Structure 1
Amino acid sequence: MEITKHLLFNLSLLMLFIFVCIVWSLKKKESRISKTATVVCGIAAMWTCIAFAYELTDNTRFDLREIPVIIGGLYVGIGPILAIASIVIRGFYGLDFGFFINILIYGPLGLLLWRVYPWFWKRSSKCRVIIAIGITLLSSLATVTVMEIVNLKLNHIDALFAFLIIPPLSMLIISCTIEFVRSDLHMRQQLFKSEKLAAVEQMGAAISHEIRNPLTVSKGFVQLLEKESISADKQKEYLSLIKEGLDSAEKVIQDYLTFSKPSIDSMDELNIQHELNQIISFLIPTANQHSVLISAEFIPSIYVLGDGQKFSQCLLNVMKNGIESMPDGGTLSVSVKKKENKVIIEIKDTGVGMTKEQMNKLGEPYYSTKGANGTGLGMMVAFSVIRAMKGSVYITSELGKGTIFSLQFPAFEYAAK
């Protein structure tokens, strides 16, 4: 059973090359096997098969070189290229009788694969496997026929088993593997597209909802202003409310634009203490409304590089979320420290806290822990700005005890001018 042993060893080597080819294609996220990968791996596989072939005589070598040719021809459409490569590689081992037999078999095989390729891809996955096995069986029958005509001195049972069973079996294993990987990759691509589409739909619905509400209110007051009986004081009040509604709609749009384009256009030296003092003073009315005490602990003269407006918006969103997580009152602690070349801003609340699942989803498109009362835009913006400033965020939380946001940014050594 020497021929069988050698062909089985060839099969193990082929599986290695097929694995490399498939990984190459998956890395490039292609639904079909990469043509470049197939040419490189196909030629290398054929050369390896011939190098480890069973040598009956100096002119006769038995191996599985037809498998790479058929796979490349059917699945990638490079049958003629690999058939010619097979003939050329065999020529390096001598222009003898076996070389011309190689031309006799692989010349027509390359042409057959070239003609079959367009038709092959119109068939179902199951039919493609059957076609690949059928062509392999035809190639094996051609080899066996030549062996009988030449009347080589070998173990006929071993030869018939080796060429009529192993090549078709090899093709069955390899083609099924390829079809499975293609199907899996196609499903993943479809799932990825579905997820992106769902995110876009969710984003569009949330934005339209958030903008429609203030615009509807503004529209109502405009209709009231159209009445001639409205007093001057009422007109002033209605105009003020219309402006508030338009400002609210503008903020939603600005939040979306910040999320969709988080790049920092201008990098300025930002004094952390100054920025946080401004934000805290702005948040004091909201904190008082929720019975929240804001405590701050700063180290002076700490700077980072970034866009002041976007940086303030980021911290404002995180701190406002912390205040709103304490409906029954509590403490919002803000501390700033410097560790090596990092500036660490820690924002701690004593609110309701979050589960691990909620923390993992925080910052995803339109996910909010506030349920129907929130859109998630604030945290999306905050996370986008942090990434744009080359920073990172770490969250720890416990239900009923509160949440800690640790924002880390590269420190900037400010030189006074």
Structure 2
Amino acid sequence: MLFSPPVYKKYRKELGQYCNIGTSGKNFVVAGETQMLSFFSEEHLLLNIFFIMFPLVFYQLVFHEKVEHRIILKNVIACAIFAVPSILCMMHPIIKQPGMIFDFRIIPLILSSFYGNNAIFLLVSSALIVSRFWMGGHGAYINLISSILTIALVFFFSKKYGRLNLKGKITICVLTSYTGKFFGILFNLYFDPAYNLMLPIAFYAMQSIFMGFTVYIMETILKNSKLRKELIDSEKMKVASIISASVAHEIRNPLTAVRGFIQLLAAANVSADKKQMYSKVCLDELDRAQQIITDYLCLARPHPDVIEHLSLKEEIIYVSSVLVSYANLKGVELQVQLEENAYVTGDRQKFRQSIINLVKNGIEAMDFGGKLVVSLEKQSEDISLIITDSGKGMTLEQINRLGTPYFSTKDKGTGLGTMVAFSIIKSMMGKIKVESQLGKGTVYKITFPAVAQTKAI
């Protein structure tokens, strides 16, 4: 298409107003017989990249999981994140020539098909074509032709795209973007036979490079999203396994005590008073097992603890009566050294559960028998409960890992008993200090804030 000098001056005036001739960052290319003026904007290049990348990344990080199962809303958002960048890219062209503009609009169009669906792709295509005709110029007809070619290529590759690896997907998108636009620009020779194709060829090469980069980013985001979902599912399974193992571990303690006392009840030389005491302990331990099950079943519906004033002397006597048969079975001598007027506040059942866990661990640490001492020390404002065993002991690294899931010094231990015990003690405002030496045993010093005896029930 040949321009007379007045027409050329008109386009030069329009382009000069658009690009602010004389400012830095703008370049002009003279090409063709008519010295057609072309405008290249580095600023608009960055804007095109921003218009395309920001919605894609923002959607994946913010909206993807929230709208995953809301199909209508998901499709509406997908149309917006592909159609709006296409229109914005046309409004801020990277290269502008009389009647034509060059930008990255084709990239969201291709992505809308390969990462959306046919309905989204057709809507985005329609929006792109209508908007380009609204902007005017003979480039609108070239855009129509290149869009039709791109649509045909996209429909040809769409069924194969999902089965391709990353390299194949990048190749398909690059070829589609370059081929559709290149054959489209050839039709400009109809309007201007002297049109120089070197600039479009170079631009579409740059566009194809960014197309490949965008596909790489998209695939990386989707892969990370999939890995994150798999990680969440894995964490859910891990939590389920922790809970199940913890339930089994916690219930085993009272059942062990019940089993021991039932064996004692079966003995012929047990007095009536002892039978009554043993029966009461069995019932109490079965109630504790039931309470443990109830607590774990109610994890989704947390309920407040039953806060009481506890006599540490009475609680330690109870714990020692529960575990004395188990200690005898392991060849361990269980001793208690108690203080009068030692009171703390907390949930009675949970406190017993935590101390039983720690004392039982101490007994199991002595493979060849030994002595385990449970004692109380009363200071002015605190009370310390000290559990001392003569077992195999622990290293400093093992001490630092105490209370974490799946860490245990026992061959078949889960570490959950200690974790639950530490959690209960901390909920009672208690502090735990552990000292240990390999081959010499371990000392647990648990310190609680003391309360007045007059408040005890």
Q: TM-score, normalised by structure 2?
A: 0.59
Match of residue 130 from structure 1: 171
Report the Cα distance in structure 2 between the residues aligned to 1:345 and 1:336, rounded to whole angstroms. 6
Contact 1:348 1:403 in 2 (8 A): yes
CA change 1:337–1:242 in 2 (3 A) is closer
Contact 2:358 2:421 in 1 (8 A): no
Which residue does 1:258 correspond to in 2?
A: 295
Equivalent residue for 2:121, pick from 75, 79, 83: 79
Where in structure 1 are there 5+ consecutive unaligned residues?
Answer: 223-229, 339-343, 409-417
Rounded Cα–Cα distance in structure 2 between residues aligned with 1:154 and 1:297: 102
Match of residue 199 from structure 2: 158
Return the match for 1:281 from 308, 317, 331: 317
Equivalent residues of 1:330, 1:350 under 8 A apart: yes
AA at the equivalent of 1:84 = S
Which of 24, 29, 48 pairs up with 2:62? 24
Work out whether 1:142 is the aligned partner of 2:183: yes
**Post-superposition CA distance 1:7-31 (Å, at most 9, x none):** 7535642344443233236765979
Equivalent residue letter for 1:258: D
Q: Could you say what secondary structure the match of 1:274 adopts?
A: strand
Instruction: Name the CA distance, whole Å, in 1 between partners of 2:108 and 2:383.
Output: 59
Instruction: Specify the alignment match of 2:81 in structure 1.
Output: 41
Is 2:158 aligned against 1:121?
Answer: no
Q: What amino acid is aligned across from residue 211 of structure 2 in structure 1?
A: M
Amino acid in structure 2 at the alignment position of 1:146: F
Equivalent in the alignment of 2:96: 56
Shift of 1:71: 1.3
Q: Which amino acid aligns with 1:52?
A: H
Preserved CA contact (<8 Å) 1:24 1:37: no
Task: Tell me how far 1:132 sits from its aligned partner.
Answer: 1.9
Q: Is the contact made by 1:7 and 1:166 (CA closer than 8 Å) also made in structure 2? A: no
**Corresponding position of 2:403:** 362
By how many angstroms is 1:64 displaced?
A: 0.2
1:181 matched to 2:221: yes
Using the TM superposition, give the Cα deviation of residue 149 of structure 1 relative to its aligned residue in structure 2, in angstroms.
3.4
CA RMSD of the aligned region, Å? 5.5
Shift of the 258–18 alpha-carbon distance from structure 1 to 2, 3 Å rule, reads same
* Secondary structure at 1:53 match in 2: coil
Residues 12 and 296 of structure 1: CA distance in aligned 2, closer, same or farther (over 3 Å)? farther
Question: Where does structure 2 lack aligned partners over 5 or more consecutive residues?
Answer: 1-28, 30-38, 325-331, 450-457
Alignment of 1:204-215 (within 5 A): none
Note the alpha carbon deviations across 1:348-382, whole angstroms, 9 max, x for none: 65675675566557353xx3534136444534555
**Residues in 2 aligned to 1:40 and 1:103: alpha-carbon distance in whole angstroms:** 21
Give a deviation string over 1:265-296, Cα, whole Å, max 9, x none. Answer: 4665x23x337565333224459944454669
Rounded Cα–Cα distance in structure 2 between residues aligned with 1:281 and 1:208: 25
Three-state SS of the structure 1 residue aligned to 2:104 is coil
Q: In structure 2, do the counterparts of structure 1 residues 315 and 140 end up closer, same or farther at CA, with 3 Å as the change threshold?
A: same
CA shift, 1:41, in A, is 3.1
Equivalent in 410, 416, 431 of residue 371 of structure 1: 410
Question: Size of the alignment, in residue pairs?
Answer: 378
**What SS is found at the alignment partner of 1:56?**
strand
- Gap change, CA 1:127 and 1:274, over 3 Å in 2: same
Per-residue Cα deviation, 1:295-339 (whole angstroms, up to 9, x for no partner): 6986x7x867xxx5654455445654686579755666688999x
**After the TM superposition, which residues 274-353 of structure 1 pair with which residues of structure 2 at under 5 Å, given as runs?**
274=310, 276=312, 278-285=314-321, 289-291=333-335, 293=337, 308=347, 311-313=350-352, 315-317=354-356, 320=359, 329=372, 352=393
> 1:107 and 1:360, CA in 2 relative to 1: closer, same or farther beyond 3 A?
farther
AA aligned opposite 2:62: W
User: How much has 1:68 moved relative to structure 2?
Assistant: 1.3
Q: Which amino acid aligns with 2:161?
A: F
2:33 paired residue number? none
TM-score of the aligned structures, taking structure 1 as reference length: 0.64
**What SS does structure 2 have at the residue aligned with 1:76?**
coil
Q: Secondary structure of the equivalent of 2:187?
A: helix
Structure 1 contact 3–158 (Cα < 8 Å) conserved: no
Task: Report Cα offsets for 1:124-153 as digits up to 9, x if no partner.
Answer: 444333222222122222343234333388
**1:65 CA displacement:** 1.1
Percent identity, aligned pairs only?
16
Larger Rg: 2
* Counterpart position of 1:226: none
